Amino acid sequence: MPLKALPAAALLAVACTLPAFAQAPVKIGFLGEFSGPQAGLGQDMYDGFMLGIRQAGGKLGGVPVEVLREDTQLKPDVAVQVARKLIEKDKVPIIAGITFSNIMMSVQPLATRREVFVIGTNAGPSPIAGDKCSPYQFIVSRQGDQQAEVLGKYATQRGYRRVVMMAPNYQAGKDVLAGFRRYFKNEVVEEIHTPLDQFDFSAELSRVAAHKPDAVFAFYPGSPGVNFVRQYRQLGLAERTPLMSVAVVDGVSLPALREAALGVLLGSTWGPDLPAEANRRFVSAFEAAYGRTPSEYAATSYDAARLLDTAIGAVKGNVADKPAFMAALKAARFDSVRGNFKFGNNHFPIQDLHVFQVVRDGENQVALKTVETPMKGVQDAYHDGCTMR
């Protein structure tokens, strides 16, 4: 008998016997460096993100997700190619990750013009915090200057009168040097810019030694940072000149550096000993899953998964309802590993900034320890340039 001839009650009975259609997974593109000397950074980001998904039962907001991982190779042209593939071929509504600022500056305009949400878990270049901001960007990590700002303030408070600054010559390097200068009230003896792919710093460090500064501030993420710290100690600078750093000593580099990093100071939004209950659970789970201490790259990416879990749940998986999904992201209703967390008008975090130091812990292992928190609940220096309110 054709279905249209059945009475209503029989139609209902037939409908109840038909298999339910599973909800289609939400696709998320994840961009990072997964090859070359910076691969450890991208891997830590990805591992932190995937840990958050696994803890949510392989779903986010109760909805299945499909994560499409792409290696940007630290090349902006490659980043644009893989981002375009994710948007046009794979039809992703969300792109997460993004390790380096030059990659973010290539991907953010492409994605946000297409109304694809960018959930940044590391790079936070100054232009997109200011006049190039977008309602489709949500940077879960921090604006790039901020980790340097806290060290600039700390150095002033410590009474350092003369400082040499060093960083690679690209967007993030320029941002962190500007951030340090913004809060350091004394003399910068020299500002040294090096190529992004440089690994030998002996010539530059000889110049540093000749200046006899009170301290050195350096920004070298990934493998270059490991070489930098080793050469700093080999030349005898570590014994007489404090080294303040951003992205030089962390969970990625400490296993390689060990005792060579003792005494190095780090400016950051996160450390493994922060007291938030969510952080204690995260560090324990990450160490159990991967057999290593997480870095800030992993922590902010884990927070991004937690953010997406609440936001996707708030719209019941309907991320195509972009105004509703945007509002759910903006609300940021999740327990951050950093404690208090909220987005500012430019969709960058308002958060605390800490100073950490490499020390021996109670088990005689090399670890990061919180020294102090000179800046609490701060917003980045560029948010007034963003027209969003």
User: What residue ranges define each of the domains in the chain, with the CATH number in brackets?
Assistant: 26-142+275-343 (3.40.50.2300), 146-268+353-378 (3.40.50.2300)
How many Å apart are CA 62 and CA 69, to the nearest integer? 21
Is the model's pTM score more than 0.85?
yes
Residue 344 DSSP symbol: -
Q: What is the pLDDT of residue 10?
A: 46
Report yes or no: 167 and 98 within 8 Å, Cβ to Cβ: no
What percent helix, strand, coil does the chain show, rounded to 5?
40, 20, 35
Report yes or no: 143 and 351 within 8 Å, Cβ to Cβ: no
Give pLDDT tens digits along the chain (389 positions).
Answer: 444 444 544 444 444 444 445 678 999 999 999 999 889 999 999 999 999 999 999 999 999 999 999 999 999 999 999 999 999 999 999 999 999 999 999 999 999 999 999 999 999 999 999 999 999 999 999 999 999 999 999 999 999 999 999 999 998 999 999 999 999 999 999 999 999 889 999 999 999 999 999 999 999 988 899 999 999 999 999 999 999 999 888 888 888 899 999 999 999 999 999 999 999 999 999 999 999 999 999 999 999 999 999 999 999 999 999 999 999 999 999 999 999 899 999 999 999 999 999 999 877 788 999 999 999 999 999 999 999 98
At 284, give phi and psi (nearest 5°): -60, -45
Amino acid at 77: D
Q: What is the pLDDT of residue 11?
A: 42
Report yes or no: 137 and 118 within 8 Å, Cβ to Cβ: yes
How many Å apart are CA 108 and CA 125, to the nearest integer? 11
Q: What is the pLDDT of residue 234?
A: 95
At 339, give phi and psi (nearest 5°): 90, -125
Task: Give the chain's length.
Answer: 389
